[in-house]
């Protein structure tokens, strides 16, 4: 069913308030009815499909940007397979329109892969190799070179001097600002490359995996999708639907990381997740004691 | 109850071993206390005394706590220091130099003393066409110092470095430009 959207964003607060008090009495499948000024409330009450649209028409940004323009994204739904635009929201340019730093993104990916890596490669040193306790021949008299042990490093089959020693950890902590700017760069890159989608919530009507698959296929969301919500306990339906797929993953906001965002082609954020991400990143960008907070990740401090 | 029982069993074993004359394998003595046997937390009055001195004097404590975010600067224009606020509208230039969190101009001096001193002026928080900005500042510095100025433009990190201590000159230039 074709959805006709009138090119008119509702920014007038009073209009928005009055619309909230009109309870639509017919199931709504198009946005046309809700941009009309006179809602038909004389019909017999049928089940309400959705709250009055647009759900979000303007969003107050914390630390309003002075000269940078906020980026706008559609808020989609997850109730139906075909996409319905529920509203248009502003995204803070400091978080979602920062200049993507490739070097910082690379640093973050490298850190994520390396900090948990433990190398189990092991070579024996001269005291670990079996044998070699006795002096092979007397110091003088044989006419041959002098040796103390048959397992010294200059001997074939001897110990390795500076070889790998198991276990070797490659743990290190990337600086606080490097990780913060990594998130900013990746989110900005995702938005710029049209791989960022915002949905109202992750509630889907069925737990059928086919529903989720067709939804993502219909909307052209990439082969792999990362759903991010503020809560770490996700709705049952989407959990069950995405369970069989390795390429559709659910994640709470506190688990958001550069590697996962790059690994999945599409990033789907809920409104709550957008709020939380912006609030946290802007807090760290504007906090007064940033140097003190970041100091524990300095190389000389651990 | 359970812990008391466990302790008693252990004691019995120890005494029996001593009588018979052989050593039983040592049992790790558990000194845990069960939730039921533990004393329950009482109300604060049982632990410490406190009394409220004054509620209206809390403001003397509040004003000592540093604010979480940097407060906005007063717009009236009476500043007792050298500091000038940034322009309300951005200057009509292909580049922009943003102020720091504390509304300071982002020009820094990197000073190293390795045998001979090495001073580098760094300009950060640059947005837009960095090459045009570098050209403009460089020509200005060269006209002031009457000698060539060596510069580095880092396009990825978006900063400019000048060899030498030109911090005050660069700051003045940026303030004149309206940044």
At residue A49 the predicted structure's pLDDT band, cuts being 50, 70 and 90, is low
The CA-CA-CA angle for residues A155, A159, A165, to 5°, reads 155
Helix %, strand %, coil % of chain B (to 5): 30, 20, 50
Q: Is the pLDDT of residue A169 over 80?
A: yes
Q: Partners of B109 in the beta sheet? A: B121
Report the alpha-carbon distance of residue B125 to residue A211 in Å, rounded. 47
pLDDT-derived band of residue B27, with 50, 70 and 90 as boundaries? low
Q: Which residues of B touch A290 (CB under 8 A)?
A: 101
Name chain B contacts of A281, Cβ cutoff 8 Å.
none
Distances (CA, A) of B52 to B55, B56, B57, B58, B61: 8, 11, 11, 11, 14
pLDDT at A251 over 90: yes
Most confident of the following: A143-152, B64-73, B114-123: A143-152
Reduced to 3 states, what is the DSSP secondary structure of residue B25? coil
**pLDDT on residue A290:** 86
Q: Comparing C-alpha atoms, which of B143, B140, B162 is closest to residue B151?
A: B162
* The pLDDT of residue B110: 96
A67, A285, A288: residue with CB nearest B68: A288
pLDDT score for A16? 41
Hey, how many other C-beta atoms are within 10 angstroms of the C-beta on B168?
11
Q: Is the peptide bond before A167 cis (omega within 30 degrees of 0)?
A: yes
CB-based burial, B31-67: b 16+ in 10 Å, e otherwise = eeeeeeeeeeeeeeeeeeeeeeeeeeeeeeeeeeeee
Q: CB contact, 8 Å: A101 with chain B?
A: yes
Arithmetic mean of pLDDT, A179-187:
98
3-state secondary structure of B54: coil
Q: Do A99 and B158 touch (CB under 8 A)?
A: yes
Instruction: Tell if the CB–CB gap between B156 and A102 is shorter than 8 Å.
Output: yes
Residue B95, token pair as written in the block: 């580049």
Query: Who among B66, B68, B156 is closest to A103 (CB)?
Result: B156
What pLDDT was estimated at residue A28? 37
Contact criterion met (CB < 8 Å) for A287 and B96: no
Q: Do B101 and A102 touch (CB under 8 A)?
A: no
A67 interfaces chain B, CB cutoff of 8 Å: yes
Highest mean pLDDT range out of A34-38, A145-149, B51-55, B62-66? A145-149
Q: What SS3 string covers chain A?
A: CCCCCCCCCCCCHHHHHHHHHCCCCCCCCCCHHHHCCCCCCCCCCCCCCCCCCCCCCCCCCCCCCCCCCCEEEEEECCCCCCCCEEEEEEECHHHHCCCCCHHHHHHHHHHHHHCCCEECCCCCCCCCCCCCCCCCCCCCCCCCCCCCCCCCCCCCCCCCCCCCCCCEECCCCCCHHHHHHHHHHHHHHHHHCCCEEEECCCCCCCCCHHHHHHHHHHHCCCCCEEEEECCCCCCHHHHHHHHCCCCEEEEEHHHCCHHHHHHCCEEEEEHHHHHHHHHHHHHHHHECCHHHHHHHHCHHHC
Distance, in Å, from the CA atom of A29 to the CA atom of B122, rounded to the nearest integer, reads 57
Q: pLDDT band at residue B26, thresholds of 50, 70 and 90? A: low
State mean pLDDT over A155-184.
95
pLDDT the model gives residue A82: 93
Cβ pair B119, B164 in contact under 8 A: yes
Q: How far is B59 from chain A (nearest CA, A)?
A: 20
Neighbour count for residue A284 (Cβ, 10 Å): 17
Does the pLDDT of residue A17 top 60, yes or no? Answer: no
Measured between beta carbons, the chain B residues lying within 8 angstroms of A105 are: none
Q: How confident is the model at residue B76 (pLDDT cuts 50, 70, 90)?
A: confident
pLDDT band at B116, cuts 50/70/90? confident
Given a cut of 50, is residue A30 above it in pLDDT?
no
The total of other beta-carbon atoms located within 10 Å of residue A133's CB is 10
CA distance B24 to B20: 10
The answer to whether the CB atoms of A286 and B66 lie below 8 A apart is no
Residue B127 to residue A286, Cβ atoms within 8 A:
no
Chain B residues lying within 8 Å of A101, measured CB to CB = 156-157
Q: Grade residue B44 by pLDDT with cuts at 50, 70 and 90.
A: confident
Q: Which of A275-279, B75-79, B82-86 has the lowest mean pLDDT?
A: B75-79
Judged by a CB distance cut-off of 8 A, whether residue A286 touches chain B is yes
Q: How far is B128 from chain A (nearest CA, A)?
A: 10
Contact B156 A101 (CB under 8 A): yes
> How far is it, in rounded angstroms, from Cα A271 to Cα A202?
10
The DSSP code sequence of B60-80 is HHHTTSPPSBPPPPPSS---S
| Nearest chain B Cα distance for residue A285, angstroms | 8
**H-type alpha helices, chain B:** 2-20, 58-62, 130-145, 167-177
Distance from CA of A289 to the nearest CA of B (A): 7
Does the CB of A296 have a partner CB in chain B at under 8 Å? no
Confidence of residue A137 (pLDDT cuts 50, 70, 90): very high
The HSE-up count of residue B49 (CA atoms within 13 Å, CB side) is 1
Task: Name the residue with higher pLDDT: B29 or A160.
Answer: A160
Residues in chain A closer than 8 A to B156 (CB atoms)? 101-103
Domains in chain B, ordered, with CATH?
A: 1-39 (no CATH), 95-177 (3.30.780.10)
B117-169 pLDDT tens trace: 899 999 999 999 999 999 999 999 999 999 999 999 999 999 999 999 999 99
Would the pLDDT of A191 be above 90? yes
Quickly state the pLDDT bin for A184 (edges 50, 70, 90): very high
Is the CB of A292 inside 8 Å of chain B's CB atoms?
A: no
- The rounded distance, in Å, linking the Cα atoms of A19 and A6 is 16
CB under 8 Å, gap of 24 or more: what pairs does B30-39 form?
B30/B3, B30/B6, B31/B3, B32/B3, B33/B3, B34/B1, B34/B2, B34/B3, B36/B1, B37/B1, B37/B3, B37/B4
Tell me which residues of chain B have a C-beta less than 8 Å from any C-beta of chain A: 66-70, 90, 96, 101, 127, 156-158
Identify the band that residue A294 occupies on the pLDDT scale cut at 50, 70 and 90: confident
pLDDT bracket for residue B30 (50, 70, 90): low
User: Does position B115 have pLDDT exceeding 60, yes or no?
Assistant: yes
Contacts of B96 in chain A (CB under 8 A): 67
Helix, coil or strand: residue B108: strand
Q: What does the pLDDT average to over A214-233?
A: 96
> What is the mean predicted confidence (pLDDT) over B85-91?
92
Work out the pLDDT band at A298, boundaries 50, 70, 90: confident
Question: Confidence class of residue A302 from pLDDT cuts 50, 70 and 90?
Answer: low
Q: Which residue of B has its CA nearest to A283?
A: B69
Between B117 and A185, the more confident residue is A185
- pLDDT bracket for residue A83 (50, 70, 90): very high
Residue A270 to residue A205: CA distance in whole angstroms: 16
* Cβ–Cβ contact A288 with B under 8 A: yes
Contact call for B157 and A101, based on CB within 8 A: yes
């Amino acid at each position: 069913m074709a959805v006709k959207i009138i090119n008119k964003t509702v920014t007038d607060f009073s209009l928005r308030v009055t619309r909230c008090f009109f309870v639509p009495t017919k199931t709504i499948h198009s946005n046309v009815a809700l941009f009309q000024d006179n809602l038909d409330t004389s019909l017999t009450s049928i089940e309400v499909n959705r709250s009055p649209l647009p759900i979000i028409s303007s969003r107050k940004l914390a630390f309003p940007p002075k000269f940078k323009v906020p980026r706008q994204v559609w808020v989609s739904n997850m109730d139906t397979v075909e996409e319905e635009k529920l509203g248009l929201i502003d995204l803070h340019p400091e978080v979602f329109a920062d200049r993507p730093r490739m070097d910082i993104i690379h640093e973050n990916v490298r850190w994520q892969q390396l900090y948990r890596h433990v190398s189990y490669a092991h070579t024996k040193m001269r005291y670990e190799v079996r044998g070699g306790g006795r002096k092979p021949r007397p110091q003088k008299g044989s006419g041959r070179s002098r040796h103390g042990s048959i397992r010294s490093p200059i001997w074939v089959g001897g110990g390795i001097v500076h070889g790998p020693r198991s276990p070797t950890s490659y743990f290190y902590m990337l600086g606080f600002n490097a990780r913060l700017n990594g998130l900013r760069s990746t989110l900005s890159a995702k938005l710029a490359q049209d791989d960022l989608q915002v949905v109202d919530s992750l509630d889907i009507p069925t737990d059928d995996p086919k529903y989720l698959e067709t939804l993502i296929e219909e909307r052209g969301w990439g082969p792999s999708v990362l759903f991010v919500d503020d809560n770490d306990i996700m709705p049952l339906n989407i959990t069950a639907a995405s369970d069989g797929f390795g390429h559709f993953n659910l994640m709470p906001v506190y688990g958001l990381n550069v590697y996962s965002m790059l690994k999945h082609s599409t990033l789907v954020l809920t409104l709550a997740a957008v709020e939380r991400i912006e609030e946290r990143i802007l807090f760290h960008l504007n906090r007064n004691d940033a140097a003190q907070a970041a100091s524990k990740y300095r190389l000389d401090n651990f | 109850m359970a812990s008391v029982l466990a302790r008693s069993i252990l004691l019995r074993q120890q005494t029996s071993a001593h009588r018979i004359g052989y050593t039983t394998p040592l049992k790790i003595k558990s000194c845990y206390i069960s939730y039921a046997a533990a004393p329950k937390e009482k109300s604060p009055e049982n632990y410490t005394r406190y009394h409220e001195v004054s509620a209206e004097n809390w403001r003397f404590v509040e004003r000592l706590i540093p604010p979480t975010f940097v407060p906005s600067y007063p717009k009236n224009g009476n500043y007792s220091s050298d500091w000038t606020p940034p322009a309300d509208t951005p200057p009509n230039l292909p580049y922009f130099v943003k102020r720091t969190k504390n509304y300071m101009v982002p020009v820094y001096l990197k000073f190293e003393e390795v045998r001979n001193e090495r001073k580098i002026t760094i300009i950060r928080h640059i947005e837009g066409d960095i090459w045009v900005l570098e050209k403009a500042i460089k020509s200005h510095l060269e006209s002031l110092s009457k000698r060539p100025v060596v510069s580095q433009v880092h396009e990825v990190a978006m900063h400019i470095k000048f060899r030498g201590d030109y911090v005050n000159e660069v700051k003045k230039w940026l303030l004149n430009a309206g940044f």
